[in-house]
Amino acid sequence: MTRWLATFVPPSMLLAAGLAHAHHGWSEYDSANTLKLDGVIKESGYEHPHGHVQLETPGKTWLVVLAPPSRMSARGLPAADLKPGTKAGIVGYANRNKPEELRAERITIGSKTVELR
């Protein structure tokens, strides 16, 4: 039994630690200060745990953390809406430690606004 624990428990602990690190907590975002960004999507990803876009705004390019793909799809935001070159408006909160990162609360593409949280 001891040998089994020594063999299997450490790898599973490492996996759990890695998964916890991959999903960041929302407390690292400054929810006291709402930001409104308007820009052009330069790159996007529609994968778990969260989708994302690189949003080019005047003077800065932001990494915008979106909702999980299943939520975005259910709320009417398919991956095709996030293609590069698309203009987007995003409301969200800046990361306290990564000045180029924003957690999106809502996104507007054309005349459609989608609540992400």
Residues 95-112 have pLDDT tens digits of: 999 999 999 999 999 999
Radius of gyration of the chain (CA): 17
Could you count the other beta carbons within 10 Å of the beta carbon of residue 100?
12
| Total-model pTM | 0.78
The answer on pLDDT for 19 being more than 80 is no
Asked, for residue 70, whether it belongs to a domain, the answer is yes
Q: Are 54 and 37 in contact (CB under 8 A)?
A: no
Residues 57-105 have pLDDT tens digits of: 999 999 999 999 999 999 999 999 999 999 999 999 999 999 999 999 9
Give the CATH number, domain containing residue 33.
2.40.50.140
Asked, for residue 31, whether it belongs to a domain, the answer is yes
Residue 12 backbone class (left: φ over 0; alpha: ψ -120 to 50; beta: rest): alpha
- Give the 3-state secondary structure of residue 98: coil
Asked, for residue 14, whether it belongs to a domain, the answer is no
Q: Which pLDDT score, from 0 to 100, does residue 4 have?
A: 47
The total number of structural domains in the chain stands at 1
